[in-house]
């Protein structure tokens, strides 16, 4: 993250900073929720979530739903990973 910046835009999965100036900014995936709030996924976490689906790939809507369900069930940002794959898919 750039020096002096107070932006906090953590990856919804691993918590790494994805705000402008961070090393994850260029490849992050933005999830816009129905209420207008946004969540972010770094490229690695997005790939892990998408590829862990039984079909081998998730649509943007499925990723959004997965992140929203996880936030709702855990009460915080942070997608739980058990053995290296997202749980609850």
Query: Per-residue pLDDT tens for 3-62?
Result: 545 668 999 888 899 999 899 999 999 999 889 989 899 999 898 888 888 887 888 898
Q: How many domains does the chain have?
A: 1
Global model pTM greater than 0.75: no
Report yes or no on 82 lying in a domain. no
Report yes or no on 89 lying in a domain. no
**15-28 burial code (b ≥16 CB/10 A, e <16):** ebbbbeebebbeeb
Report yes or no on 86 lying in a domain. no
Taking a C-beta distance cutoff of 8 angstroms, is the pair 11, 40 a contact?
A: yes
Domain housing 53? 1-75
Residues 6+ apart with CB under 8 A from 76: none
Report yes or no on 9 lying in a domain. yes
Could you give the CA distance from residue 26 to residue 20 in angstroms, rounded to a whole number?
Answer: 8
Report yes or no on 37 lying in a domain. yes
């Amino acid at each position: 993250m750039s020096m002096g910046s107070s932006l906090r835009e953590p990856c919804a999965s691993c918590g790494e900073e994805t705000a402008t100036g961070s090393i994850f900014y260029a490849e992050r995936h933005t999830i816009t929720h129905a209420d207008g709030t946004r969540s972010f996924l770094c490229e690695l976490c997005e790939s892990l979530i998408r590829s862990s689906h039984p079909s081998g790939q998730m649509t943007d809507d499925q990723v959004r739903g997965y992140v929203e369900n996880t936030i709702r069930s855990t009460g915080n940002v942070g997608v739980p990973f058990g053995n290296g794959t997202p749980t609850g898919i």
